Amino acid sequence: MNGNYNANELRVLHGLEAVVRRPGMYIGSTDTVGLHHLVWEILDNAVDEANEGYGKNIFVTIHDDGSLEVQDQGRGVPYDYNAKEKKNGFQIVYQTLHGGGKFDEELYKSASGLHGVGAAVTNALSEWLEVHSYRDGIDHYAKFEKNGSKFSGIKEMGSTSLRGTKVRFYPDKKIFDDITFNFDKIAQHLDDKACLTKGVTFHLVDERTNRKQDFFYANGLLEYFNRHTVGKELLIQTLHMDGVSDDGIKIEAVFGFIKDNYDEKIISFANGVRTGDGGYHVTGLKKALTSCFNSYAINHSEIKSNESLDGDCLREGLVAILSVWVPEHLLQFEGQTKGKLGTKEALNAVDSLIEGKLSYYLEEHANDASLVVKKTIDEMRVRAKTESERKKERELLKNKTTFNLSDKLTPCSSKDYMNNELFIVEGDSAGGSAKKGRDPKYQAILPLRGKPLNTTDVNDVKTLLGNKEIATLIYTIGAGFDSDFKIKDIHYGKVIIMTDADDDGSHIQSLLLTFFYNHMKPLIETGHVYVACPPLYLVSNARKKIYCWDDKDLAKAKAEVGAGYKVNRYKGLGEMNYDQLASTTMSRASRRLLKVYIADDEDAHDKVKLFLGKDTDRRKDWIENNIDFSINDSFTEEVEREK
Q: Which residues are annotated as catalytic?
A: 426, 500, 502, 504
Whole-angstrom distance, CA of residue 416 vs CA of residue 433:
24
> Is residue 159 within 8 Å of 10, Cβ to Cβ?
no
Residues facing 593 on adjacent strands: 532
442 and 421 Cβ atoms separated by less than 8 Å:
yes
CA distance 347 to 371: 27
Dihedral of alpha carbons 268, 252, 250, 118, sign: positive
User: Using an 8 Å Cβ cutoff, are 548 and 557 in contact?
Assistant: yes
Please measure the distance between the N-terminal and C-terminal CA atoms of the chain and give it in whole angstroms.
Answer: 62
SS (H, E, C) 71-99: ECCCCCCCCCEECCCCEEHHHHHHHCCCC
Q: Which residues contact 65 (CB under 8 A, 6 or more apart)?
A: 170
Nearest-CA neighbor of 251 among 153, 358, 407?
358
Q: Report the C-alpha gap between 98 and 102 in whole angstroms.
A: 9
User: How many residues does this entry show for the chain?
Assistant: 643
- DSSP assignment letter at 417: G
The rounded distance, in Å, linking the Cα atoms of 176 and 179 is 6
Element (H, E) at 131: strand 126-135
Three-class SS state of 365: coil
> DSSP state, 42?
H
Q: Which residues contact 288 (CB under 8 A, 6 or more apart)?
A: 350, 351, 352, 353, 354, 355, 358
**Other C-beta atoms within 10 Å of 395: how many?**
10
Give CA–CA dist 593/421, Å, rounded: 12
C-alpha atoms less than 13 angstroms from C-alpha of 93 in its C-beta half-sphere: 24
Cβ-in-10-Å burial (0-12, 13-18, 19+) of 331 comes to buried
Q: Who's near 32: CB < 8 A, 6+ residues apart?
A: 177, 178, 182, 185
Cα pseudo-dihedral 378, 384, 388, 390, rounded to 10 = 30
**Cβ–Cβ under 8 Å, residues 165 and 74:** yes
d(CA 346, CA 560) in angstroms, rounded, equals: 60
Amino acid at 255: F
Which residues does 592 contact at the CB level (< 8 Å), separation at least 6? 532, 533, 549, 585
User: Among residues 369, 322, 315, which one has the least CA distance to residue 349?
Assistant: 322
- Determine contact, residues 533/178, Cβ cutoff 8 Å: no
- Find the farthest-apart pair of alpha carbons in the chain and give their distance in angstroms, rounded: 86
